[in-house]
Each structure stands twice: as structure tokens, then as C-alpha cells.
Amino acid sequence: MELVDEELERLRGFGPEQLERLGSPSDRVSGEITITTRIAPEGDRLMVLVEAWRGRRVLATGGFAMDPDGTARTPD
């Protein structure tokens, strides 16, 4: 979960334009764990999902929505 939290915090510092340029999905490997980030538009905001997994097993997930003004929040 710590790796997911760190990645979410890093991504919250981006603006919407930077998030859109990342491409989706994108993977980053940390030891034996892969961190996958998916970014998808939903209306006028971007939905960001981060998963940590090993092999085929998902270990942790988290996400947030980013409004056009760059405000990031966890959806209800």
C-alpha cells in the first residue's frame, strides 16, 4: 500500500495536462512489484487509478479524480 500511496501523492502534484501526457496504462517496476497507473477522462475530470501487483495478484489499489483546475480529490 505504501508504494500506491507514494505514487498517488506524486501524481497529485501534476496538473491535468501532465496527467494526460503520461499515457495510460503506464507501469513502473519496484523490486518484484509493478505499479500500474491508469488515467481516464470522465466528463470534465480525469480519473486516476493506481494498482500495485505481483505476478497476477493485485496487492493494493487507490485513486483520485482531478478537476480541470488541478484540484485532486477522492471521489465518493
Q: What is the pLDDT of residues 28-76, one digit of tens each?
A: 998 999 999 999 999 999 999 999 999 889 999 999 999 999 999 886 6
CATH match for 2-67 among 3.30.160.300, 3.90.1200.10, 1.10.8.420, 3.40.50.10540: 3.30.160.300
| Burial call 22-57: b when 16+ CB within 10 Å, e when fewer | eeeeeeeeeeeebbbbebeeeeebbebbbbbeeeee
How many other CB atoms are found less than 10 A from the CB of residue 10?
Answer: 11
For the chain, what are the domain ranges? 2-67
pTM: 0.86
User: pLDDT tens across 9-41, in order?
Assistant: 999 999 999 998 887 799 999 899 999 999 999
